[in-house]
Amino acid sequence: MASPLAGTRCLVTGAGGFLGQRIVQLLLEEEDLEEINVMDKTLSADLLGLCEQFKGRTSVKILQGDIRDEEFVQHCCRSVDTVIHTAAVIDTVGKVPSETLLAINVTGTEKLLDACLQNNVRYFIFTSSVEVVGPNTRGDLPMDGEDEQVYEDKFLSPYGESKRLAEQSVLRANGLALGGGGKLVTCSLRPMYIYGEGSQFLELHLQQAIKNGHVFSRLSRKEALVNPVYVGNAAWAHILAARTMRNPDHAKMIAGNAYFVSDDTPHMSYSDLNQALGEELGLSVEPRLALPLGLLYCAAFVLEVLRFLLKPFFRYVPPFTRHLLLLLNTPSTFSYKKAQRDMGYRPRYSWEESRQRTRAWMATVLAKRREQPKKSK
């Protein structure tokens, strides 16, 4: 039986990223594509090796460039019918100037949408974020939130604001007329915090834990329950969205809609997720925050004032911000029932399999770190 995306030409932006690379892998393994275009500013050796592995079965085009380059974006969209747009800058502490965030995450998305309209690209899937609905200045994210959750008026995070503006552009573009006839079909997927093998955030936490005697720093209260999603399941949701869009009987269900993407990972705090993934490797987590949350919040405010005062002289990036503290310490869980109803989404990987895969990768990272001192001798 032919795969649902057989014969299609697909463009994946941000293909060199953590999620983008897993989407490319699933497309190459599961679908008989006619061609896949992988686009990013930087392409890893792992991604290039993966593309080379499947080159005999699927035509692979490597596109290296900047999404802010309009001519390059137009070139990327020629002769494709589906775009999966994961390219974005993720920043939770203000390392990246807000102008750059907006230029890449918002204007870049709008340029890509315009290129789709001009080049008759029929289907557009956008990787959004749970941060499009908060946390706001009150820090009140919902428990078991549904996809109809409204946008908040205020953000402490330029990143969350940029993803919200980009998502609004994507959903407004649904139904617009294509240059060659027909209409554009769009949807937005909002993954929770994504974990799994290859996660830069998890690798950073691992490195810090090693320096701290194999103990993760506690960044979130135990009661701040969230529901992270495994990278394989987040990628799988994108594949199912692409399949659903091409099914005339189901396309109307998904068109112009946004979907939270979670899985069956147990509800726990971000810090306790680190422990759950690493405890069999001899890793643990600190029992409590370094200071009461109120004091940390005040310290973050002082650091942000310092950043403002130093701005005329140099760019100071504080180690944490009020937004980051809210994000890490606000209980918030979201349901994937709407994605299950409209596109048949179910987690492809169980919690146990997700944990095993992530733990195996963490073990290799730890082994490499242990080898480094030997090599230096």
Domain that holds residue 13: 9-200+225-263+333-348
Contact 44, 20 (CB under 8 A): no
Within a domain: 165: yes
Which helix H or strand E contains 334, and what residues bound it? none
Cα distance between residue 358 and residue 233, in whole Å: 13
| Strands 82-85 and 9-13, bridge-based pairing | parallel
Within a domain: 159: yes
Within a domain: 144: yes
- Output the CA torsion sign for 42, 45, 47, 51: positive
Examine the pLDDT at 269 and tell me if it is beyond 90. yes
Residue type (1 letter), 62: I
Within a domain: 82: yes
Q: Quick one: pLDDT at residue 377? A: 47
Which of 141-145, 238-242, 309-313 has the largest mean confidence?
A: 238-242
* Mean pLDDT computed over 210-231: 93
Confidence of residue 117 (pLDDT cuts 50, 70, 90): very high
CATH classification of the domain holding 94:
3.40.50.720
Stretch among 41-45, 59-63, 169-173, 265-269 having the lowest mean pLDDT: 41-45
Q: Centre a 10 Å sphere on the Cβ of residue 301 and count the other Cβ atoms it contains.
A: 12
Residue among 163, 222, 337, 377 flagged as catalytic: 163
Cα distance between residue 122 and residue 179, in whole Å: 10
Within a domain: 322: no
Q: Centre a 10 Å sphere on the Cβ of residue 360 and count the other Cβ atoms it contains.
A: 11
Which helix H or strand E contains 266, and what residues bound it? none
Within a domain: 376: no
Cis before 135 (ω within 30): yes
* Mean pLDDT computed over 29-39: 90
Supply 189's token pair.
């997927």
Helix, strand, coil tally for the chain in percent (to 5): 45, 15, 40
* pLDDT, mean over the chain: 89
Q: Quick one: pLDDT at residue 45? A: 83
**pLDDT tens figures, 244-262:** 999 888 888 999 999 999 9
Examine the pLDDT at 241 and tell me if it is beyond 80. yes
Within a domain: 3: no
Q: Quick one: pLDDT at residue 368? A: 82
Contact 208, 285 (CB under 8 A): no
Examine the pLDDT at 56 and tell me if it is beyond 80. no
Q: Centre a 10 Å sphere on the Cβ of residue 317 and count the other Cβ atoms it contains.
A: 12
Within a domain: 234: yes
Confidence of residue 222 (pLDDT cuts 50, 70, 90): very high
Sequence-separated contacts (24+) of 290-297 with Cβ below 8 Å: 290/217, 290/218, 293/221, 293/325, 293/329, 296/320, 296/325, 297/322, 297/325
Domains identified in the chain, total number: 1
Confidence of residue 284 (pLDDT cuts 50, 70, 90): very high
User: Is residue 163 annotated as part of the catalytic site, yes or no?
Assistant: yes
Contact 98, 156 (CB under 8 A): no
Residue with tokens 């503290």: 325
Confidence of residue 6 (pLDDT cuts 50, 70, 90): confident
**Is the model more confident about 305 or about 3?**
305
> What predicted TM-score, i.e. pTM, was given to this entire model?
0.92
Q: Exposed, middle or buried by CB within 10 Å (0-12, 13-18, 19+), for 201?
A: middle
* CB burial readout 327-338, b (16+ within 10 A) else e: bbbbbbbbbbeb
* CB burial readout 28-61, b (16+ within 10 A) else e: beebebbbbbbbbeebeeebeebbeebeeebebe
Contact 156, 322 (CB under 8 A): yes
Cα distance between residue 289 and residue 260, in whole Å: 29
